[in-house]
Structure 1
């Protein structure tokens, strides 16, 4: 079982020192959330909350994922870095290839990317990307990125992207695992057909098992059931050694935890209990290591 920590709602300056603490405590990695802006006037309905509105304050910090990876990689030795999730189709594909390739090089290969089609039209429009075809474009982007990261002369020609032969250096020292998030039928099929894993949100153990079953059924449909595949998600059940043993049995390969956070309070819009300096996180990280990680591994 691999333990990942989220970064949502932390202050940007706290993240590198907390990454060092997690590295020392035996965590496998950190998953970085992604938003470009908080529009003052927004027409798009947020699908992740019953109100249809984003539940976090407008001044919540969402640092650029790949700048942050570079900073955290520089102060850690073993910690891996991924996303939950990165809205890749809102960015130009060459920019994504360049940023991830650079981050993977700096981190010595300790990088994966967790992609999603996204939901906020305003972010796409700000970056000049088509919102309406984002799903099909992401399907093609996944395939194209694998080619663009190979090194040497690379190119891609498809329905949405036509990239002439070029070099994009530095390229990743090894293949970058690509995972997908999202719970729609299209997102689940994307993960099963094109990706190396699926990144979920937070579920009860029973709900998590149902998602795993659905995706594995689709993997069999695409003839990929014997290929390595990661299932990474949070669990809303009370953390315990037994919980994570059960999670392993149903096929979860990575659990996202934030030992200092309360899921219910955070998602009701209360982030006050997350405030503090980086040292604010040390005790809860150490306690989780002693109670769970050290005993499970």
Structure 2
């Protein structure tokens, strides 16, 4: 059965802890399975970066995922999913430690989504090289899984050195599932080789079919069973529940194991508006607790 969650509306709930609590608890009570949270440490000031065309900037409100997960872990029974942590701009050992703590606090209800990143402004401010992020990312993936499954590790790599060290407590899930972002041929091949699941940046149709084919071929070449790799699609709220069930079915036919309702792009301004949208979406999608709510 496809698991249906929600995309946390990063730039819509502001800095009110009560609004975040109400949103998370409403999603939980309505029967959603998980909440998916994006990551950006910094936003670029458009005045300092002429021609900036990306949707996120210095005025975009984005909560820090690991801190937010700690808050939501105490308030809900939702699975928590990062979508996605920009791994190469962070210290691997610290990510391993933070992710393990979230997994412990949720009793194993955590997926760590990771991505290579696209924002050189963030990399510069965090003291890391944007140009070599892909090679660093591949090394980090191996290290994360070792931190989560081994008491003590020693590693000598191109970017990382660890001498007889480990994290404690280690997570409930050993290893924590790693889900990948990305929307290029190299990214799809990496997903096939290494990922437990992925977040496509497209919709059901020829483009998704082609990407999925690349993932499956890479998995087979790596000696993996492609059917074990999860896939999470997005269901975009447009103001009404019309078409949501049909969209969900199209994703299921395309192999989606997970879906998430995204109310963030519909112009909703208040927590109540987002919760109302989630309530109507839950009913349209047939979530078990929607009728009770």
Deviations 1:211-252 (A, max 9, x none): 222211222222213561111122569633233223212211
Q: Which residue number in structure 2 is paired with residue 9 of structure 1?
A: 11
Q: Which residue number in structure 2 is paired with residue 34 of structure 1?
A: 39
- Aligned-residue CA RMSD (Å): 2.5
Where 1:112 maps in the other structure, the secondary structure is strand
Question: Is the CA contact 1:193–1:224 (under 8 Å) kept in the aligned structure 2?
Answer: yes
Distance 1:81 1:207 in 2: 28
Q: Do residues 284 (structure 1) and 289 (structure 2) align? A: no
C-alpha spacing 1:115/1:249, structure 2 compared with 1 (3 Å): same
C-alpha spacing 1:186/1:106, structure 2 compared with 1 (3 Å): same
Where 2:285 maps in the other structure, the secondary structure is helix
The residue correspondences of 1:95-106 to structure 2 (distance < 5 A) are 95-106=94-105
C-alpha spacing 1:223/1:42, structure 2 compared with 1 (3 Å): farther
Question: Is the CA contact 2:232–2:256 (under 8 Å) kept in the aligned structure 1?
Answer: yes
Deviations 1:104-130 (A, max 9, x none): 111111111111110111211211222
Instruction: Return the offset for 1:204.
Output: 4.4
Taking structure 1 as the reference length, what is the TM-score of the superposition? 0.85
Instruction: Return the offset for 1:209.
Output: 3.0
Question: Is the CA contact 2:233–2:251 (under 8 Å) kept in the aligned structure 1?
Answer: no
> When the two structures are aligned, how many residues end up with a matched partner?
279
**Mean alpha-carbon deviation: is it higher for 207-216 or for 189-198?**
207-216
Q: Which residue number in structure 2 is paired with residue 72 of structure 1?
A: 72
The residue correspondences of 1:60-209 to structure 2 (distance < 5 A) are 60-77=60-77, 79-174=78-173, 175-209=175-209
C-alpha spacing 1:107/1:155, structure 2 compared with 1 (3 Å): farther
Where 1:4 maps in the other structure, the secondary structure is strand
Instruction: Return the offset for 1:3.
Output: 1.4
C-alpha spacing 1:43/1:225, structure 2 compared with 1 (3 Å): farther
Question: Is the CA contact 1:4–1:256 (under 8 Å) kept in the aligned structure 2?
Answer: yes
Taking structure 2 as the reference length, what is the TM-score of the superposition? 0.86
**Mean alpha-carbon deviation: is it higher for 134-143 or for 278-287?**
278-287
Distance 2:49 2:68 in 1: 27
Q: Which residue number in structure 2 is paired with residue 274 of structure 1?
A: 268
Distance 1:112 1:165 in 2: 27
Question: Is the CA contact 2:100–2:170 (under 8 Å) kept in the aligned structure 1?
Answer: yes
C-alpha spacing 1:105/1:6, structure 2 compared with 1 (3 Å): same
Q: Which residue number in structure 2 is paired with residue 294 of structure 1?
A: 287
Q: Which residue number in structure 2 is paired with residue 244 of structure 1?
A: 248
Deviations 1:55-78 (A, max 9, x none): 24632211111000010111012x
C-alpha spacing 1:209/1:293, structure 2 compared with 1 (3 Å): farther
What stretches of structure 1 of length at least 5 have no aligned partner? Answer: 46-50, 267-272
Where 2:217 maps in the other structure, the secondary structure is helix
Question: Is the CA contact 1:44–1:122 (under 8 Å) kept in the aligned structure 2?
Answer: no
